[in-house]
Amino acid sequence: MIIKIKDHCEHFAENKDVAKELREKQIKQNIESTTSPMIILDFAEVDSSTQSFIHALISGIFQDYGEKALDYFEFRNCNEAVKSLITTVINYSLE
pTM to 2 decimals? 0.93
Per-residue pLDDT of 36-51, as tens digits, reads 889 999 999 999 999 9
pLDDT at 56 over 90: yes
CB 19 within 8 A of CB 54: yes
pLDDT of residue 34: 84
Within a 13 Å sphere around the CA of 26, how many CA atoms are in the beta-carbon half?
18
Distances (CA, A) of 9 to 19, 69, 89, 93: 9, 24, 19, 23
Dist CA 70 CA 73 (whole Å) = 6
